Structure 1
Amino acid sequence: MKALVLAAGTGTRLRPVTHTGAKQLVPIANKPVLFYALEAISAAGIANVGIVVEPNADDIKKAVGDGSRFGVDVTYICQEQPLGLAHAVLVSQDFLGSDDFLMYLGDNYVGGGVTSVVEAFRHDRPSARILLTQVPDPTAFGVAELDDTGRVASLEEKPTRPKSDLAVMGVYLFTSEIHEGIREIKPSARGELEITHAIQWLIEQGRDVTATVNTSYWRDTGNVADILEVNRHVLDTTEGPGAAAGEVDPDSTLIGEVHLEEGARIVRSWVEGPVVIGAGTLITDARIGPYTSIAEDCRVSGSAIRSSILLSGSTVDGVSAIADSLIGRHASITTAAAGGDSHRLVLGDHTRIALAG
């Protein structure tokens, strides 16, 4: 079995952060969300991985490399235009051949991994197996209707009147029969080849399409709110080495799970976990956390930050209250002369902003 990881999306809902970086590399607890997908694939025993990328994907190629750090062998596949999930499979035909494969959307976070569903697919080998989860608003997703036996009776993409509350997650398992379905479908109204249409074609042809209803944690990290929510979840559930790898002066207080990477320093500050602070970052006269991830080589002084993510090289100086924010690489945030009491920020890479203090 092979794996196909889709990482060619433009990340429009995360702009301006994604103007200069792939959305799949936005860090969750200081690790790109794409890395969680690759780790889950490796843990499921799949070693041959194709990553579908856009033409300008040097950042993903640099971050992932040949995949050896994850225990997989990576092949990069270029999708010239984002024309749908089924189109991504179509352009990957040479890599996939006639093999069974797991398709995993690279901006999805699946807390329980995919090992059990991969093992079930290998045992039963239906034409397709999809992961479903209950959602409060199915109209934003592909929606599945199950029959009395638990098999998929129908699929509909973003329906106005959903037949169930079971949304299709970004994890699919296919035999080579899916290629036949993709060849038979036409572009949707939005001009894309929809994978739900190809799966629906299999259903209409009487092929065996099964489902697993996921009960573990899952999020599509396509927007800031979901990224911050996943960051909170991961920080809550991850045990790390604690502060041993960094330096904490005697005038600082650490409470709860605080993970300092090598070279991180905390001076005269209060840090309440769960928090992760990256290598080479300096925290001075600040109040940090909970649920905050600060990447490598950042500088935070005289400021208070909670429930936020700071990307590498960012500077925050003299800002009294930052919360629920995603701050891009090398952003610089300082206090302006006038007063103020709270700030909510989504900043792109190399942004500079002065806030009322």
Structure 2
Amino acid sequence: MKIIVPMAGRGSRLRPHTLTVPKPLIPIAGKPIVHRLVEDIAKVLDGSIEEIAFIIHESFGKAVEADLIAIAEKLGARGNIYYQNEALGTAHAILCAKESMEGPVVVAYADTLFRADFSLDKTADSVIWVKQVADPSAFGVVQLNDKNEIVDFVEKPTQFVSDLAIIGIYYFKSGETLRSELEYLLDNNLTKGGEYQLTDALENMKQKGMRFVPGKVEEWMDCGNKNVTVDTNNRMLQFLQEDQINLVAPSVQLENSTIIPPCYIGEQVVIKNSTVGPNVSLGTGTTVENATISNSLVQTHAQIRNAQLDNAMVGNHAIYDGKHTQISIGDYSVLE
């Protein structure tokens, strides 16, 4: 099995945090979004992963590429890097990894996390991960027949046809077939709004009689902007606590302070005269002094003093000393 991860966008809605690192490398409960994503996909696949192909913008740089290769290797897979330097749509992005489209593949967009407990139907030509939502008009949805097969894809329906939203994760039994359909779109310049769309390839495959089925997830967590990313961090911490996973590193230095779980506390974190939690992530090397922090995501090597933070997001190496609450400051920022 191979996993293809399109992630060439910088994530402008999550600025300033994505000015220095791409959104999929922002940590959630101590691990980059893309790391948690491929881990969760591996659990659903219930099999070995041969390769993870990351599609990025060339400007991300070699350090980011090395981080992504390391994520793949931690899962026992080979990592490959492909470039998409023009934003020409979802189909174009996936086709940038055409050399990796052999055998069964999963395509997963790296701006979402999920929780699921279903068995992947590997006899189907394709499985599309979906989540039941309250307002389907904001999403692309799938329509099912009485055999639980997908018979239609509808983008942002104005009238109710289904409440099963497509979350951006797909299984294809044949990577070669997917590649052929994507190449057909590009070869014939079949675009919508100037972009090549994956949904057009899916429709062509369905019209040829290929069998599509849904994979229903229990939780779908977005990382689109600061508020929803902090909320996703909160929810992930709660899930990890339920799974009885230890989230506090043994090297944490605690002085006259309290940690209210669930919290992720990284290596070499120092907490003095403070209360941290619930729902807080503190990255490696962070120092917290005379502070109260709840429902917040703090990245690595930050310094936080004399603060009362809630619903906050603090970047790497940032320094914060003050009385503000719902802050969002990027890497290397200083507020004193």
Aligned-residue RMSD, C-alpha: 2.4
Question: Aligned-pair distance for 1:196?
Answer: 1.6
Partner of 1:192: 195
Question: Aligned-pair distance for 1:259?
Answer: 3.6
Q: Distance in 1 between matches of 2:226 and 2:211?
A: 37
1:328 aligns with 2:322: no
Partner of 1:133: 131
SS in 1 for 2:64: helix
2:133 maps to a residue whose letter is V
Could you tell me the percent identity over the aligned residues? 25
Question: Aligned-pair distance for 1:310?
Answer: 0.3
Q: Is the 8 A contact 2:270 2:287 kept in 1?
A: yes
| Matched ranges for 1:288-327 at <5 A | 288-319=276-307, 321-327=308-314
Partner of 1:31: 31
Question: Aligned-pair distance for 1:271?
Answer: 1.8
Q: Distance in 2 between matches of 1:33 and 1:59?
A: 17
Partner of 1:247: none
Q: Distance in 2 between matches of 1:241 and 1:221?
A: 22
Partner of 1:111: 115
Q: Is the 8 A contact 2:26 2:33 kept in 1?
A: yes
Structure 1: unaligned runs, 5 residues or longer: 243-256
Q: Distance in 1 between matches of 2:179 and 2:34?
A: 25
Partner of 2:143: 145
Higher Rg of the two aligned structures: 1
Q: So what's the TM-score if we normalise by structure 1?
A: 0.84
- Return the match for 2:91 from 66, 86, 89: 86
2:115 maps to a residue whose letter is G
Change (3 A) 1:95 1:258: closer
Partner of 2:273: 285
1:71 aligns with 2:105: no
1:209 aligns with 2:212: yes
> Aligned pairs, how many?
325
- Mean alpha-carbon deviation: is it higher for 168-177 or for 285-294? 168-177
Q: Is the 8 A contact 1:42 1:72 kept in 2?
A: no
Q: Is the 8 A contact 1:133 1:168 kept in 2?
A: yes
Question: Aligned-pair distance for 1:239?
Answer: 4.7
Partner of 2:19: 19
Change (3 A) 1:160 1:182: farther
Deviations for 1:132-180, whole angstroms, at most 9, x for unmatched residues?
Answer: 1111232332211122322212113334445221110121011232233
Question: Aligned-pair distance for 1:241?
Answer: 12
Partner of 2:334: 352
Question: Aligned-pair distance for 1:21?
Answer: 0.5
Question: Aligned-pair distance for 1:30?
Answer: 1.0
SS in 1 for 2:91: helix
Q: Distance in 1 between matches of 2:150 and 2:42?
A: 28
Partner of 1:100: 104
Q: Is the 8 A contact 1:4 1:102 kept in 2?
A: yes
Structure 2: unaligned runs, 5 residues or longer: none
Q: So what's the TM-score if we normalise by structure 2?
A: 0.89
Q: Distance in 2 between matches of 1:7 and 1:159?
A: 26
Q: Distance in 2 between matches of 1:240 and 1:146?
A: 33
Q: Distance in 2 between matches of 1:31 and 1:85?
A: 26
Q: Distance in 2 between matches of 1:239 and 1:318?
A: 28
